[in-house]
Amino acid sequence: MEKEDRPPFETREGRSAEFKSRLEKLASMAADGIDAYPNDFKPLHSAADINAEYGMAAVQELEAKGVSVSIAGRIMAIRDFGKASFIQLQDNGARLQAYVKKDIAPGAYDVFKRCDMGDIVGVTGRLFRTKTNELTVEVQTFRLLAKGLHPLPEKWHGLTDVEARYRQRYLDLMVNPEVRDVFLKRCAIVKYIRDFLSSRGYIEVETPMLQPIPGGAAAKPFKTFHNALGCELYMRIAPELYLKRLIVSGFNRVFEINRNFRNEGISTQHNPEFTMLEFYEAYATYEDLIALTEEMISGLVRHIHGSTKINYQGTELEFASPWQRISVKDAILKYSNASEDIFGDRDKAFAFAKGLGLSIPDGLSHGKALIEIFEKVSEPRFIQPTFITHFPLDVSPLSRKNAVDQSVVDRFELLVMGKEIANAFSELNDPVDQRERFEAQMKERGAGDAEAHQMDEEFVRALEHGMPPTAGEGIGIDRLVMLLTNSASIRDVILFPALKR
């Protein structure tokens, strides 16, 4: 909409009575020469520090010391007594009460009377304890630092409308402390992982998000266009092929924590952009990564929860290692009445899959059919952390073949609550084999599999320069955070999840 089409700011439709009343207070203060948005107030203390230092201090101790503080924060509650008021200030997630009395600081009181819930203010004064023993600042000076024009969500119920919480996440974070906690935990989780890998000699890198050929996973990409280059580019679906180029380059251990983009469905488990950790270690195998994964994640769970046991949506999960291991084949045999010959005979696999009610296109590869069967009969059964190993060759075009059974690869997926948390394999570093795998993928692409991997000549060329034997792994950070914060939806661990409009 053009500016001219809009009614003036003050009278714009949809503005609440509160909004207008606050604008009037702004005007009244402007008339008195009070700046509603000054930037020269420097708080010397934080609410958290004051609580930590004096939260336990006795009344006599406070009075003897005469502790003066200056803090800033958002007014979250006002209890007004006419000529004195208690206000709750929220500062960086911590709260501290302040007491504003007319006779102590008449000027301050005059400004305060034109402040509202949600305004950000700065106060100075001495600490004391109220009758009910609450640590409180007796306000000597009071300044408005930023006027809020909208009322806060209701103080008791908070903001519960899910859509409003996602669209106006700042309000959600402001008034729902448990939401703030989720994102603080997310930060701690990512930091732990960074520190863990860094301490093992991994270097953190950033590789392209805009890629000419989207590779490293099977997924539908977002397409975009670069004007100056005059070419189509894709938002990455995985960083894998670039990280392996770095292993070729001589960085023996690299990792990246960053966004991937997949143009697919949205659900409680899927957001179009999501955060992935990928790490690659030269001279390691997928077996080494099993050990590393157990150590990293069980350590992480202990770090975040103080124990390796967590409760996720009513289910007890035990992360103390070692975790269960089972091959795709054994998992199918264990949880279905499949006969062993479905693994050697494509037609039998298809017949069995159809018997399960799976609709699989005729062109599908044998291995893909087996994975469909696995996902249907076995995957949901793995609640406790479990490594699923030895995936079919043709669903793993970037993995190294198993030395004993050439129909499977040296790969594992980590399942928790029946959901994939990690995916790792010994990397394919034979450029001839890699080219053949890509060619096989292109054939499947031609047969109608839009997610089959594309040929990436530049990547093969890098392998042709020699990549050391390497193992690599990807861990979905959002899903890991969901587990560790007991979140049912991925949107609860993403600050601004994808929404329409």
Partner RNA sequence: GAGCCGCUAGCUCAGUCGGUAGAGCAUCUGCCUUUUAAGCAGGUGGCCCCGGGUUCGAGUCCCGGGCGGCUCACCA
Contacts of 185-189 with CB under 8 Å at 24 or more apart are: 185/304, 185/481, 185/484, 185/485, 186/481, 186/485, 186/493, 188/303, 188/304, 189/300, 189/304, 189/477, 189/480, 189/481, 189/484
CB of 230 to RNA, least distance (A): 29
Total residues contacting RNA by CB under 7 A comes to 73
Handedness of CA 29, 32, 37, 42 (dihedral sign): negative
Structure tokens at 471: 């193992």
Choose, by CB under 7 A, the member of 169, 419, 435, 445 that binds RNA. 419
Backbone φ and ψ for 401, nearest 5 degrees, come out as: -65, 145
CA 498 to CA 220: how far, in whole Å?
Answer: 17
Among residues 60, 494, 500, 49, the alpha carbon closest in space to that of 273 is found at 494
Choose, by CB under 7 A, the member of 32, 61, 134, 341 that binds RNA. 134
Q: At what angle do helices 177-199 and 286-305 cross, to 10 degrees?
A: 140
Q: Is 274 in the site for RNA (CB under 7 A)?
A: yes
Nearer of residues 215 and 253 to RNA, judged by Cβ: 215
CB of 83 to RNA, least distance (A): 4
What ranges make up the beta strands (E) of 103-184? Answer: 120-129, 135-146
What ranges make up the beta strands (E) of 81-147? Answer: 84-91, 94-101, 120-129, 135-146
421 exposed, middle or buried (CB, 10 Å; 0-12, 13-18, 19+)? Answer: buried
Q: Is 148 in the site for RNA (CB under 7 A)?
A: no
DSSP 33-74: T--SS------SS-HHHHHHHHTT--HHHHHHHT-EEEEEEE
Q: Is 268 in the site for RNA (CB under 7 A)?
A: yes
CA 142 to CA 103: how far, in whole Å?
Answer: 13
Q: Is 3 in the site for RNA (CB under 7 A)?
A: no
Q: Which residues contact 324 (CB under 8 A, 6 or more apart)?
A: 382, 384, 385, 386, 387
CB of 118 to RNA, least distance (A): 8
Nearer of residues 159 and 233 to RNA, judged by Cβ: 159
CB of 319 to RNA, least distance (A): 18
The site map against RNA for 214-243 (x = CB under 7 A) is ---xxx------------------------
**How far apart, in Å, do the first and last CA atoms of the chain sit?**
15
Nearer of residues 111 and 152 to RNA, judged by Cβ: 152
Q: Is 58 in the site for RNA (CB under 7 A)?
A: no
Q: Is 80 in the site for RNA (CB under 7 A)?
A: yes
Nearer of residues 193 and 467 to RNA, judged by Cβ: 193
The site map against RNA for 428-457 (x = CB under 7 A) is -----------------------x------
**For residues 455-494, which are near RNA according to CB under 7 A?**
476, 478-479, 488-491
Structure tokens at 299: 């350590």
CA 7 to CA 241: how far, in whole Å?
Answer: 53
Choose, by CB under 7 A, the member of 5, 103, 178, 362 that binds RNA. 103
Q: Is 84 in the site for RNA (CB under 7 A)?
A: yes
CB of 12 to RNA, least distance (A): 12
Q: Is 495 in the site for RNA (CB under 7 A)?
A: no
Choose, by CB under 7 A, the member of 23, 26, 48, 117 that binds RNA. 117
Q: Which stretch binds RNA (CB under 7 A): 60-68, 145-153, 222-230, 332-340?
A: 145-153
Q: Is 150 in the site for RNA (CB under 7 A)?
A: yes
Collapse the DSSP code of 194 into the 3-class scheme (helix H, G, I; strand E, B; otherwise coil) and give the result.
helix
Structure tokens at 156: 């008791």
Q: Is 93 in the site for RNA (CB under 7 A)?
A: no
Nearer of residues 73 and 282 to RNA, judged by Cβ: 73
**For residues 151-210, which are near RNA according to CB under 7 A?**
151-164, 166
Q: Is 18 in the site for RNA (CB under 7 A)?
A: yes
CB of 7 to RNA, least distance (A): 12
